[in-house]
A = this chain, B = another copy of it.
């Protein structure tokens, strides 16, 4: 959404990604190179994520970038989690119920007077970055899957980021893949993100730990199976722990399962995997690819979509937001 118009800016633009643990900003030069970076922790506490605290954090990141680059009034793109409508209002976010109804445009825009501010769902910006500048360059039909605490999605069709009738397309983490699966904060059960996200990795890791299969990992986590987190398992798998590798492969397989469903609906030529979970590396991506190939309809007779990690890693959303600030929206 671009509240004002005008020609594309000649200098740098900023992109800020509001994440679960940090608010990450980048400055993007006119040639698409990252020329600055800043971050602050996401405000925590039961209701602190709501609106104004986050807006302050976004403004702080912008001030840091201004100081580092010695410029001012650069346009700012802001990527926000959840179902963000076409006016920048947060309609619904399973992991941020206390923020329902927050008007990001008003709150963040109010802290950044005199600037062009563009607000979008974070994964929509992430796919913009990967499509224009990253791993999905050259593909006209792309699905970006951001594997963080939950799963976000961005969709490019026919070369254009598509957001759906109300702005809520790409909420792919809430496809139900097993009606008998675990309950989801969204109110349903068996959503894809219960199995394939960071939360899914943690859940499966703790199950394996409680079953006595991850003793080494549990020791690293402080001795309590309930304390095992995804990053402990990723580290143990990278070090060769067979049980940890099994957990990572199981999560990768669930990722591939969902990609096969998405291929049925959208038939992209490229899936980009982003978010922190992808830091688990080749083991995870290879497992996703193997299950996808096995499960996708007509798998032995159709061109198989590429499945690639995000070129910008954890920065896809911020880079896309800066690109969105340049374009005045999603292009």
Interface residues of A (CB under 8 A from B): 83, 91-92, 94, 100, 139-141, 153, 155, 157-158, 160, 162-180, 186, 188, 257, 260-269, 295, 297-298, 301-303, 305
Contacts and interface: CB of A to CB of B under 8 A. Distances in A.
- A-B pairs, 4 with minimum CB distance: A164-B267, A92-B298, A165-B269, A169-B267
Most buried by B among A83, A164, A167, A178: A164
A179 B176 contact: no
A83 B302 contact: yes
B262 A163 contact: no
B265 A169 contact: yes
A176 B179 CA distance: 11
Contacts of A173: 264
Nearest to A101: B301
A92 B264 contact: no
Given A141-B165, A166-B267, A172-B265, 20 more contacts: A83-B297, A83-B301, A91-B298, A91-B301, A91-B302, A92-B297, A94-B297, A100-B301, A155-B265, A158-B162, A164-B266, A164-B268, A165-B305, A167-B267, A169-B267, A170-B267, A176-B260, A176-B295, A179-B257, A265-B265
A163 B140 CA distance: 12
A200 B100 CA distance: 38
Contact of A297 (B155, B186, B269): B186
23 contacts: A91-B301, A92-B298, A92-B301, A140-B165, A157-B162, A158-B160, A158-B162, A166-B267, A168-B263, A168-B297, A168-B302, A171-B264, A171-B265, A171-B297, A174-B297, A176-B177, A176-B261, A176-B295, A179-B257, A180-B180, A186-B297, A186-B298, A265-B266
Given A168-B298, A176-B261, A261-B176, A267 B163 contact: yes
A268 B298 CA distance: 26
A329 to B, nearest CB: 14
A171 B295 CA distance: 14
A141 B164 contact: yes
A91 to B, nearest CB: 5
A137 B317 CA distance: 35
Given A153-B265, A298-B83, A165 B303 contact: yes
A104 to B, nearest CB: 15
A181 B298 CA distance: 19
A291 to B, nearest CB: 11
B262 A265 contact: yes
A180 B179 CA distance: 10
